Amino acid sequence: MTSVDTPTVLLTDRAWPDDSVERAVLEAAGLRLVSGPAVPAPAEQIERLVRKHQPVAVLTNWAQVTGAAIAAAPVRHVARMGVGLDNIDVASAAARGVWVTNVPDYCIDEVSDHALAMVLAWTRGLIPANRQVHEGTWDPAAARLRRLASLTCGVVGLGRIGRATAAKLGAFGARVLGSDPGVTRELPGVEVVDLDRLLTDSDVVVLHAPLVPATHHLIGAREIARMPAGGLLVNVSRGGLVDSDAVATALADGHLSGAALDVLESEPEVPEALRAHPGRS
């Protein structure tokens, strides 16, 4: 079989040094790997790569795989090398009978650990204390510390990662609320409530929801206003879940004492209002 006859798989982008692992696995299976740029290219460039190489499958990390890309070749499978599917036009794939898959157990511990680390950094005042020391200030009495075991933490999205975060927060003694339209029964250690109740009762709100049209700007000015004054918002899911302007306003007026945003809708650009905020909780 010539290279022209060998079925091709397109790797759109990657967050690791090279494609050697993917190449070895696919070539052992009788497939040819073509790699796009490591940094996610614009959707139009991905579409051009698909038209040029005519892959039977597409592996994607962060790059957008549009309906036009799916229609431009005999694609039979689009695989997301992670959990969320918001960078793939799933509806167009389904309409063409194309399989779309993800890796549902990807980074469960890593992301839930990250969320917990953000909460602990806020409760123990680590970031402002570190900043003050670097500025030459030593004033432990001014620290605003919190005891996690005395707080209520709300987890929005109770998939694998959300449930892991809830369990870790519970292990520190926090009261844990959870909200997810797909979960109606109680979970061990989690009181399942609707989103409004979660926001009203939670000192800390952690987002683990997927980004779909219904969850775009799930947290905006109205939702933040429902949170108790002085609370913390944590987003380790997708930037589009949060209205960054509303967060900046709530930080500026003191309604939020902290926002731990691992992702932003505008990333890698950080809105000026967020960059300029001193971030002292």
Averaged pLDDT for residues 150-167 = 97
Q: What pLDDT, on a 0 to 100 scale, did the predictor assign at position 3?
A: 53
Q: What pLDDT, on a 0 to 100 scale, did the predictor assign at position 131?
A: 87
Does residue 35 sit in helix, strand or coil?
strand
pLDDT digits (tens, 9 = 90+) for 18-34: 999 999 999 999 999 99
Q: Where are the domains of the chain?
A: 8-101, 108-275
Q: Tokens 């696995």 correspond to what residue?
A: 25
Report CA-CA distances (Å) from 44 to 8, 65, 74, 138, 151: 20, 9, 18, 53, 47
pTM for the model: 0.87
The CATH code for residues 108-275 is 3.40.50.720
Confirm whether 8-101 and 108-275 share one CATH topology: yes
| CATH 3.40.50.720, domain 8-101, yes or no | yes
Strand partners, 80: 60
Three-state SS annotation for 204-220? EEEECCCCCHHHCCCEC
